[in-house]
Homo-oligomer: A and B are copies of this chain.
């Protein structure tokens, strides 16, 4: 059994467990009280704040403990937007931010604010010049993640921070995916993190607001955590978060090197082991433990299920998983294939054997799903050839439209076209991505009587 979904939540680090246990008896009282139990709780809280500040590279009084990373992002975005309201109500985010940032941005828009989404390249990275273009005199805040949670691409935070600094605009960095690996470089203004991503306990987020950044708390007043995080402090969990951050940092360099080698194997070998695969994300500037790929003609949920049965826990940005019916906004923004998408995110300590076993199991799992779906195989021979074929995939979900397209492309002559009718949102992303992967020409889409028609010209 191997858990390969650390980017979603990491198992509790042994040091976090120890610290949590040790502080359950010392840290339950109200740290605002002056009696013995309150003073002990206050001491634990202060020590945890110092430890986190050191790991983040900031002052202790700039650190606020929230109840989750999501809360840290919500409070950070709304706090700066409110604090700088006189400057204006324009917000900049990258198009591949975590949903907590994007939902904050949408709430801001719903409240009458304006927003610019900065595009990314095919590797998932932003260009600092795009932030320079997006900045306006009324820009109150810009947001950029330190590294992407779905494909692992590391963002040019220091460069974007410099661009923002020059314009006098604070940059909020969602550092949830990278904080366990090291501090965020550059002149950022606000930072958010989440303990359960680095092996700390659930229930602890970090919000760091540099001195001098205008910040106004929204919502009902609360005296705790500088008024920036309402609710009784969860001190045992905060202590465990701080202790585990220190512990994972101590192992970070060695472990990063080891995981990077393991994910490099997956990056290199998956395309050789599995036909019709696209590995996505930046091959160099990336998180050590994350590798993401998409498999043509595969239903993401079915593949996850096969891998789970084989003992591997991974996640997917495909549209056909669990409750979601649209593909991951990250894969969409990158313009890469979303069908049969698999994110492997190795927790520190992952055994080499488990990665090797994953590479053994994966080809069979993919082949099994493809077989069930009736996906095309190289053996399928072209039959009658007509100049234009229409594939009616209306009412059929990803990856069926692409499978049907692949089955008939050989039936039209080179130069002929296939017209795929589909009402599945994922087709808009996956048909062009398939064309790029297979060297066919994607002509474009047009409104059909029902759904959308996607035109593909056979070029080879």
Contact = CB atoms under 8 A, between A and B. Distances in A.
Interface of A: 1, 3, 5, 8-12, 17, 20-21, 24-25, 27-30, 32-38, 67-71, 74, 77-78, 99-100, 103-104, 106-107, 194, 196, 201-203, 205, 219-223, 230-237, 301, 304-305, 307-308, 312-315, 321-323
B8 A28 contact: no
B70 A35 contact: no
A196 B69 contact: no
Contacts of A10: 28
B28 A314 contact: no
A219 B105 CA distance: 10
A100 B231 CA distance: 9
Top 7 A-B pairs, shortest CB-CB distance? A68-B231, A67-B67, A203-B234, A35-B313, A103-B220, A202-B234, A70-B231
A21 B237 CA distance: 13
A235 B196 CA distance: 12
Given A106-B221, A230-B68, A11 B35 contact: no
A160 B236 CA distance: 38
Contact of A107 (B67, B99, B220, B304): B220
A100 B313 contact: no
A315 B223 CA distance: 17
A9 B232 contact: yes
A27 B12 CA distance: 10
B1 A25 contact: no
Nearest to A233: B202
A238 to B, nearest CB: 9
A8 B71 CA distance: 24
Interface centre among A27, A28, A69 (most CB of B within 10 A): A28
B315 A33 contact: yes
A107 B321 CA distance: 40
A305 B34 contact: yes
A322 B32 contact: yes
Contact of A71 (B25, B33, B231): B231
Given A24-B20, A28-B9, A230-B68, A74 B219 contact: yes
A36 B203 contact: no
Contacts of A107: 219-221
A123 B233 CA distance: 31
A143 to B, nearest CB: 13
A362 to B, nearest CB: 15
A38 B3 CA distance: 10
A8 B24 contact: no
A24 B21 CA distance: 11
Given A3-B35, A70-B230, A237-B237, 10 more contacts: A1-B36, A12-B28, A32-B323, A34-B308, A35-B307, A38-B313, A69-B232, A74-B220, A99-B222, A202-B237
Contacts of A78: 219
A232 B28 contact: no
